[in-house]
């Protein structure tokens, strides 16, 4: 199968067929698994294409997903197509829907990255860093700005995070991500490419902050 990630500009997100979008969700899941963002069946991604949302199922090996395993929802979050075979819709579904509806996102992902988890042990209500070149990869930020990401408290069930996530999204209009304490991060973008770029830049910044703190440095100076 030809990699959709490696295709060039003429294959923009808006020109993807339903089958290509299903393949792209699988490919991104493999990519995120290989970075340690979706190990132990955690994490996930969804992509909005036209008026439909394509979402990986819950509690499965994210690196082994096939295009026919993907759920398709409408813009209100109602299931239009389900794979059957005992697969369940992602527990992240109501959380993803908030980013689609409140921020008009084109793709949302959830990562269990160790960097995202660790950084939530080092800050109270907001992750904060400044003067980092990689901040330029996050829309609305320059290299010399202070970049903030709100941190919400974890809950026993992922779906119970939905209300506090929605509140944090509304209260932090500049942020394209919400961290969850000792858990991971939700990240979105206007399309899948921007969501992926944001996720990579945020992850870099989380790791940088953790390492700076290990060295006794203040990441906000």
| Residues marked as catalytic | 133
In the sheet that 177-180 helps form, which strands lie side by side, from edge to edge? 79-81, 71-74, 52-55, 44-49, 107-111, 184-189, 177-180, 146-152, 126-130
CB 178 within 8 A of CB 186: yes
Question: Does residue 26 contact residue 14 with C-beta atoms inside 8 Å?
Answer: no
- DSSP characters for 161-218? GHHHHHHHHHH-TT-SEEEETTTEEEEEESSHHHHHHHHHHHHHHHHHHHHHHHTT--
Supply angle C-alpha 89, 85, 91, rounded to 5. Answer: 15
Whole-number Cα distances in Å, 198 to 51, 178, 188, 195: 23, 12, 7, 5
Q: Could you give the maximum distance between any two Cα atoms of the chain, in Å? A: 52
Residue 216 to residues 25, 117, 210, 221, Cα–Cα distance (Å):
39, 19, 10, 12
């Amino acid at each position: 199968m030809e990699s959709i990630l490696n295709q060039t500009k003429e294959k923009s997100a808006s020109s993807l067929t339903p089958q290509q979008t299903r393949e792209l969700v699988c490919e991104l899941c493999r990519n995120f698994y290989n970075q340690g963002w979706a190990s132990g069946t955690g994490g996930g991604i969804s992509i909005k294409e036209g008026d439909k949302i394509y979402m990986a199922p819950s509690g499965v090996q994210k690196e082994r997903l096939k295009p026919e395993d993907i759920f398709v929802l409408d813009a209100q979050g109602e299931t239009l197509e389900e794979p059957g075979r005992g697969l369940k819709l992602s527990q992240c579904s109501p959380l993803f829907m908030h980013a689609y509806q409140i921020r008009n996102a084109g793709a949302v992902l959830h990562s269990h990255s160790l960097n995202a988890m660790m950084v939530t042990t080092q800050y109270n209500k907001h992750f904060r860093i400044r003067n980092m070149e990689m901040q330029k990869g996050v829309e609305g930020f320059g290299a010399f700005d202070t970049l903030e990401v709100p941190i919400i408290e974890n809950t026993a069930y992922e779906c119970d995070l939905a209300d506090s996530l929605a509140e944090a999204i509304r209260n932090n209009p500049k942020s394209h991500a919400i961290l969850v304490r000792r858990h991971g991060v939700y990240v979105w973008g206007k399309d899948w490419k921007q969501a992926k770029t944001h996720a990579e830049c945020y992850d870099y910044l989380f790791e940088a902050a953790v390492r700076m703190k290990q060295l006794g440095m203040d990441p906000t100076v």
